[in-house]
């Protein structure tokens, strides 16, 4: 449908789905306010996700702060790697995403994974121009720009902090507590739905690229050697896959079942394949058009710093493919980093089926020697010697052992290290779990559902705009109208509306304008059913009302006492 993006934007503003924030003050790019219809649609999608990926799988949901101290993001790698490429026009001063300029003006579809040098080369070779003033950008440098919002915690300069760019770190940093809650038993999953913040260089397309967004994330902690997903639960689900190989060979994607994708090694991780299967079912249930949908595998140069493999769920709107979910195998990267940087233990004790005997090497440095000799460095030197005894026991064969602290080396007499080899009986070992992460962009899900539900047709020779939303996510399930608000019709309609609300339905009451206009208003916001109370309602025994179906526009009489069951 031509210019669907514009139509969705106009409908959303007119009917209360979403609009730019603070338009009374000129607006601010990258921030959107969800109106009454949009907030309810978004909430329904979140609740549906919660049911599918948290409650029904036995995972547990948490809620972490949106501001965290700098140390968390130093450990996670976001301070160094959470960047986009920026180019600033020397003429008008407009800052733009350099990779977006390349994608919008060349045949290159995915430039985000390119290096800054490569982007500069493409801009120069194609004489690409500023999207605002048409100034030539050929000789302008492309630089990395960190997307995190910086803030201070506490008065004055305070402690450095950042608004989180993903909800995941709020889960990872608290892992030592969560493993205790789960009695140190793998696997287990922790979920979270909440706000994240990214200081986007050039926000665009309404809900597609924003600076404040809602994520629904699942961090599934597993033992990579033992834990396997129940693939049989999803093995027959058809997946539309656009693999790395297909992209490199300029081929279209292919369809295969989850089982076939695993057996043919198209998807390397059983866990990723499992969640792609679950997600496919869910996307369909909330109204994603599976003809405008695919799973695309990340190229090696676009993988995040934490991921060994990642597949994006992408929806198509106006010919563009939009990432709506990332399915990443994060390995032990995050927990290992927090284990190294913090003072907490991010391992889980894995108990063996039977005790085993194991040869170990240990050192017990003589602190009576190290203390007087090296002062406040003695404890660090002892720790280095103990690490070396476990990892490099051969180095204890000479007269001295080297211990390095920062840029300085210390030669410690081997006899003062108390090195020994011995056999111990072990009942288990400490392991750092691996993480499988499906991360859903709720705002983009809302946008996709609206775009895929949008339709135009004719009813009674009149053009009609209709959102064919599924009943699971529609903001309002049923609207109740009196034919007119007189002769007791309004009172009866309000009574029926109240009764349906008591029975758990989302109900809207409307008595303004003619009945045709009221139908059109509800069609535009995706309400599946409209109930009309007319004079026949008051005359019938038992009482009946007219129920109109949104998609077919067909109407039928239904007894009031049977409305709940009918709906």
| Per-residue pLDDT tens digits for 414-473 | 999 999 999 989 899 999 999 999 999 999 999 999 999 999 999 888 899 999 999 999
d(CA 470, CA 44): 11
Instruction: Kindly state the percentage of the chain with pLDDT values over 90.
Output: 87
Is the pLDDT at 497 greater than 60, yes or no? yes
Q: For residue range 116-160, what is the model confidence (pLDDT) as tens digits?
A: 999 999 999 999 999 999 999 999 999 999 999 999 999 877 799
pLDDT of 375 > 70? The answer is yes
The pLDDT of residue 477: 96
Handedness of CA 284, 7, 33, 14 (dihedral sign): negative
| Residues pairing with 557 in the sheet | 546
Mean pLDDT of 372-386: 93
What average pLDDT does range 47-66 have in this prediction? Answer: 98
Q: Given pLDDT bands bounded at 50, 70 and 90, which one contains residue 2?
A: low
Is the pLDDT assigned to residue 1 strictly greater than 70?
A: no
Burial classification of residue 287, based on how many CB atoms lie within 10 Å of its CB (0-12 exposed, 13-18 middle, 19 or more buried) = buried
Q: Which residue has the tokens 């390095």?
A: 404
Q: How confident is the model at residue 63 (pLDDT cuts 50, 70, 90)?
A: very high
Q: Which of 76-80, 212-216, 302-306 has the lowest mean pLDDT?
A: 302-306
- The per-residue pLDDT for 109 is 76
Average predicted confidence (pLDDT) for the chain = 94
DSSP 453-506: HEEEEEETTEEEEEE---TTT-S-SEEEEESSS-TTHHHHHHHHHHHHHHTT--
Domains 4-66+161-333+436-443 and 476-566 share a fold: no
Domain 4-66+161-333+436-443 fold is: BirA Bifunctional Protein; domain 2 (3.30.930)
DSSP letter string, 197-262: E---SS-BTTTTB-SEEEEEEEEEEE-TTT----GGGTTT-EEEEE-HHHHHTT---EEEEHHHHH
| Domain residue ranges of the chain, discontinuous segments joined by + | 4-66+161-333+436-443, 353-427, 476-566
Reported CATH class of domain 476-566: alpha beta
> pLDDT digits over 207-263, tens only?
999 999 999 999 999 999 999 999 999 999 999 999 999 998 878 889 999 999 999
Least confident of 265-279, 300-314, 492-506: 300-314
Per-residue pLDDT of 152-210, as tens digits, reads: 999 877 799 999 999 999 999 999 999 999 999 999 999 999 999 999 998 988 899 99
Q: In this predicted structure, what is the pLDDT of residue 460?
A: 85
Instruction: Write down the pTM of the prediction.
Output: 0.87
Residue 204 is predicted with a pLDDT of 82
Residue 387 vs residues 218, 222, 286: alpha-carbon distances, Å: 34, 26, 53
């Amino acid at each position: 449908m031509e210019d669907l993006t514009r139509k969705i934007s106009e409908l959303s503003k007119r009917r209360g789905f979403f609009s730019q924030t603070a338009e009374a003050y000129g607006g601010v790019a990258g921030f959107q306010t969800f109106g009454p219809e949009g907030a309810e649609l978004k909430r329904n999608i979140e609740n549906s996700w919660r049911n599918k990926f948290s409650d029904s799988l036995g995972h547990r949901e948490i809620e972490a702060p949106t501001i965290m101290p700098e140390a968390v993001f130093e450990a996670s790698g976001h301070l160094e790697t959470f960047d986009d490429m920026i180019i600033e026009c020397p003429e008008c001063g407009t800052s733009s995403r350099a990779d977006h300029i390349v994608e919008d003006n060349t045949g290159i579809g995915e430039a985000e994974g390119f290096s800054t040098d490569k982007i500069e080369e493409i801009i120069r070779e194609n004489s690409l121009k500023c999207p605002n003033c048409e100034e030539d950008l050929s000789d302008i440098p492309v630089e990395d720009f960190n997307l995190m919002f910086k803030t201070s915690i506490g008065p004055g300069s305070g402690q450095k902090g950042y608004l989180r760019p993903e909800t995941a770190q709020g889960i990872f940093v608290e892992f030592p507590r969560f493993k205790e809650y789960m009695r140190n038993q793998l696997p287990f999953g922790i979920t979270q739905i909440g706000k994240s913040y990214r200081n986007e260089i050039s926000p665009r397309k309404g809900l597609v690229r924003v600076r404040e967004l809602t994520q629904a994330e699942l961090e599934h902690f597993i033992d990579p050697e033992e834990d396997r997903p129940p693939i049989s639960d999803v093995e027959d689900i058809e997946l539309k896959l656009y693999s790395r190989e297909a992209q490199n060979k300029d081929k279209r994607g292919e369809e295969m079942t989850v089982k076939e994708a695993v057996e043919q090694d198209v998807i390397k991780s059983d866990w990723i394949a499992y969640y792609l299967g679950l997600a496919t079912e869910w996307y369909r249930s909330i109204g994603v058009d599976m003809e405008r949908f695919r799973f695309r595998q990340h190229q090696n140069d676009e993988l995040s710093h934490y991921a060994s493999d990642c597949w994006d769920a992408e929806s198509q709107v106006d010919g563009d493919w939009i990432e709506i979910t990332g399915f990443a195998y994060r390995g032990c990267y995050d927990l290992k980093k927090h284990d190294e940087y913090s003072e907490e233990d991010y391992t889980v004790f894995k108990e063996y089926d039977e005790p085993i005997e194991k040869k170990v090497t240990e050192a017990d440095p003589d602190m009576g020697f190290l203390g007087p000799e090296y002062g406040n460095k003695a404890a660090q030197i002892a720790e280095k010697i103990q690490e070396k005894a476990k990892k490099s026991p051969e180095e204890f064969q000479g007269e001295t052992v080297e211990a390095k602290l920062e840029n300085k080396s210390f030669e410690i007499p081997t006899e003062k290290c108390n090195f020994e080899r011995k056999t111990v009986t072990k009942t288990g070992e400490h392991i750092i779990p691996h993480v499988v992460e499906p991360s859903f962009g709720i705002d983009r899900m809302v946008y996709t559902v609206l775009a895929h539900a949008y339709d135009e047709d004719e009813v009674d020779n009149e053009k009609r705009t209709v959102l064919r939303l599924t009943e699971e996510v529609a903001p309002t399930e049923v609207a109740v109208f009196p034919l007119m608000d007189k002769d007791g019709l309004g009172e009866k309609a309000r009574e029926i509306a109240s009764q349906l609300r008591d029975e758990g339905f989302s109900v809207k009451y409307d008595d303004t304008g003619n009945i045709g206009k009221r139908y059109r208003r509800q069609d535009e916001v995706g309400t599946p059913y409209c109930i009309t109370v007319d004079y026949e309602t008051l005359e019938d025994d038992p009482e009946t009302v007219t129920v109109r179906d949104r998609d077919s526009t067909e109407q039928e009489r239904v007894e009031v006492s049977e409305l709940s069951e009918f709906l």
